[in-house]
Amino acid sequence: MLKICMLEDESLPLERMKAYLHQFQIEHSNFEYMLETYSSAFDLLEHYSRDVDLLFLDIRVPDMSGMEVAKRIREIDQNVMILFVTNLTQYAIEGYSVNAFDYILKPLAYNSFSSKLERALRMLSYRSSDITLDLRTRDGGRRVSADSITYIEISNHDILVHIGTEQIRQWGTLAKFEEQLREAHFARCSSSYLVNLKYVQKVLGDQVLVGGDALPISRPRRKEFLNALAQYKGGSH
């Protein structure tokens, strides 16, 4: 399910965008979403979480410009897709500085709104496409889906990739695998373990149960790991 946020202080364009989303859902039966709306930039920033997929930002809100909101959002979230809502085309160019996906001109029209929403959905679908790893084995090589990996660990200076009950020994560093799997919902629970959040069953004190194995959660990694887990669970489909 897609998580959408809107920052718009005027009721008319806000209600129009909500109606457009509903109309789009009627026309696209597989489109499911949850919506959060804000009229204050400060409220949005206070409650913002990194599981938002799509963010509609009004350029002009009383307490802070939409551009400044976008800059602050980008400090904590590089992945959310930002669409500016504005009646000034000049902001389209400035939007590149915050990696805005697109802009929608006021007064709002359904054809423009729906076409840009469709583009955004195509891009999000592309982002979520399956990531694969090429592993070296005794037989030469093997390509595996990141989705099939439960966790990766360091053991005696080797890397062990766990796929179900199977272990595949690799060379390199855990940091290298962490970088490759950055967009595949993996997080470190300690310096020795990189966990696929999909397979987390529960957290028990200073341990996390992953695919039936209890792995340690180190104190330095605990906050970041639990935050990543909460964001994943909150944004899972």
132-235 carries CATH number 2.40.50.1020: yes
CA–CA distances in Å: residue 202 to residues 36, 140, 142, 189: 28, 36, 30, 13
Specify the amino acid at residue 103.
Y
> Structural domain boundaries of the chain?
2-127, 132-235
Q: How many CA atoms lie within 13 A of 95 on its CB side?
A: 22
The SS3 assignment for 106 reads coil
In CATH, which superfamily holds the domain spanning 2-127?
Answer: Response regulator (3.40.50.2300)
How do residues 33-55 score in pLDDT, each as one tens digit? Answer: 999 999 999 999 999 987 899 99
**pTM above threshold 0.95:** no
Closest CA to 185 of 50, 28, 7: 50
Per-residue pLDDT of the chain (237 residues; tens, 9 = 90+): 899 999 999 999 999 999 999 999 999 999 999 999 999 999 999 999 878 999 999 998 989 999 999 999 987 776 688 999 988 766 655 665 676 888 899 999 999 999 999 988 987 775 554 688 889 877 778 888 887 899 999 998 899 999 988 899 998 899 999 999 988 889 999 999 999 887 888 899 999 999 889 999 999 999 999 998 877 664 333
Residue 66 has which token pair? 């939409």
